[in-house]
Amino acid sequence: MKIMSYAGITKSNFLLVHPDLPALSFCRSHLSSSSILMVTSNYEKRFRLITRFQYSVAARTSASSVDASVSKPYTGRLGGKQRSSTSLYSRPSLIEMKNERIANRAKVYDFLRGIGIVPDELDGLELPVTIEVMRERVDFLHNLGLTIEDINNYPLVLGCSVKKNMIPVLDYLGKLGVRKSTFTGFLRRYPQVLHASVVVDLAPVVKYLQGLDIKPNDIPRVLERYPEVLGFKLEGTMSTSVAYLVGIGVARREIGGVLTRYPEILGTRVGRVIKPFVEYLESLGIPRLAIAKLIEQRPHILGFGLEERVKPNVDTLVEFNVRKEALPLVVAQYPEIIGIDLKPKLLGQQSLLNSLTELSLEDFGSVVEKMPQVVSVTNNAILKHVGFLKDCGFSLQQVTKIVVGCPQVLALNIDIMKLSFDFFQREMKRPLDDLIAFPAFFTYGLQSTIKPRHKMIVKKGLKCSLSWLLNCSDEKFEERMNYDTIDMEEMEMVPSFDMNSLMVRSDDSSSEYEEDSDDEYL
């Protein structure tokens, strides 16, 4: 006989009976009807008991206070004891953890404010949870020479761990050769280096610098002079500026030396700074190849501000009677003249020379054209040299002619000038007028040029001007010694500075970049 049965589902030690589930046939067919009825009866009793228990729990739950902060649903076995909220195994809630972090951060902020550090910019930055760890960081920075003011200038440095960030970076710099005595200035210039990874950030930059022909021994000096280079992207401004310099004619073999002397080039934008500077010098009449040679010799000129310094200084030179056609020679001969605070220097030198000589405003412009370095000659040197010329017997008017004819006499070694003048008087026995006509006599070497040439013309019995004697190369003078007579005096003075001397370039340094490729740097 087939009987109807109840299906039982066991969960948490409760047997729940559902009469609606499909009936199953018992495998053990030999059960008696009385036993079946007894089982069914027991199931019904347990079902009613469970139902009453569930209603009781629901009633108690709805009656409990909604403000209970740690109320948990019942998950224990029937007849078991619910866990106490004060158990040793209980964990703090997320709210409690958050509140604890806020309290600890407030204590750290109070500590920082107490020593003069403003923590306003530290919100959102991961900081030590204890005052002791923060004090360790501050003390470490103090030992490096950084002051509270330095930390306030870049408070994010307090987010760097001493062991994980600061010590590895400083050890790496020390191994490169950066002097410990420069660490303070280094970190003041570029404190962000303490956030860097040695392997990911710093080492690739150093390797790139070496690839630019900067010698390994020069790498520390480059970093000390321009620590910001450690934060640049390798394929960004650095590679672009180097490519442009090579493109205008800077010799490839000179790039390493140029960057060593002025590494700031690596962070200088081509389109905004370098290219406009080069084009402006070209507009003055300086050939591009001469500009490239100037950059090789004095790369720091690229740091002169074009609008705020260079252009105003050029206008000032014209204001002080320097002819526009002479500007290329003035700038090429002494590029620093366009990068200094020029007007006060010109006013001071003009006033001093006017008080010592009969120099006119036009004469002063001529002096600057022939020797733009005059703006940097000290007052004491000018006083001594003018005094020496007067002691030689020259009148005030004659001193003025000498200064205008050869301004270099204001900056020469005065002891050597005295020796040359003594030889001029005792051995050459020439009148002072010869020196007035050719004051550049003082610029020639006594032992290397003046004495041997004088000896040769005396031996040949020739009489000539100082200009004919000195104002030529050794080869040209040998040629003149083959003359039977001197048909004409070669009195014209060659310029003291030759622009062509800047444009001598060997074939192996020619550029691989085309000039019309400048547009990519705009």
Residue range 242-251, pLDDT digits in tens: 999 999 999 9
Query: Residue 8: beta bridge partners?
Result: 17
Q: Give the per-residue pLDDT at 349.
A: 96
**Pair 328, 285: CB distance under 8 Å:** yes
Q: 329: closest CA among 503, 504, 502, 497?
A: 497
Q: Supply 334's token pair.
A: 């002494």
Q: How many angstroms separate the CA atoms of 112 and 125, rounded?
A: 14
Q: 321: closest CA among 404, 259, 401, 388?
A: 404
Q: How many angstroms separate the CA atoms of 282 and 289, rounded?
A: 10
Q: Supply 352's token pair.
A: 């001093």
How many CA atoms are closer than 13 Å to the CA of 319, on its beta-carbon side? 12
**pLDDT above 70 covers what percent of the chain?**
75
Q: What is the pLDDT of residues 264-279, one digit of tens each?
A: 999 999 999 999 999 9
**Pair 469, 441: CB distance under 8 Å:** no
Res. 510: pLDDT tops 60: no
**Pair 392, 421: CB distance under 8 Å:** yes
- Read off the pLDDT of each residue in 15-20 and give the average, rounded to a whole number: 44
Q: How many angstroms separate the CA atoms of 170 and 306, rounded?
A: 37
Give the least confident one: 303-307, 440-444, 504-508. Answer: 504-508
- pTM, rounded to two decimals: 0.72
**Largest Cα span, the chain:** 161
- Read off the pLDDT of each residue in 160-186 and give the average, rounded to a whole number: 95
Q: How many angstroms separate the CA atoms of 159 and 194, rounded?
A: 10
- Read off the pLDDT of each residue in 142-155 and give the average, rounded to a whole number: 95
Query: Burial level of 231, CB count in 10 A (0-12/13-18/19+)?
Result: middle
- Read off the pLDDT of each residue in 431-450 and give the average, rounded to a whole number: 96
Query: Burial level of 269, CB count in 10 A (0-12/13-18/19+)?
Result: middle
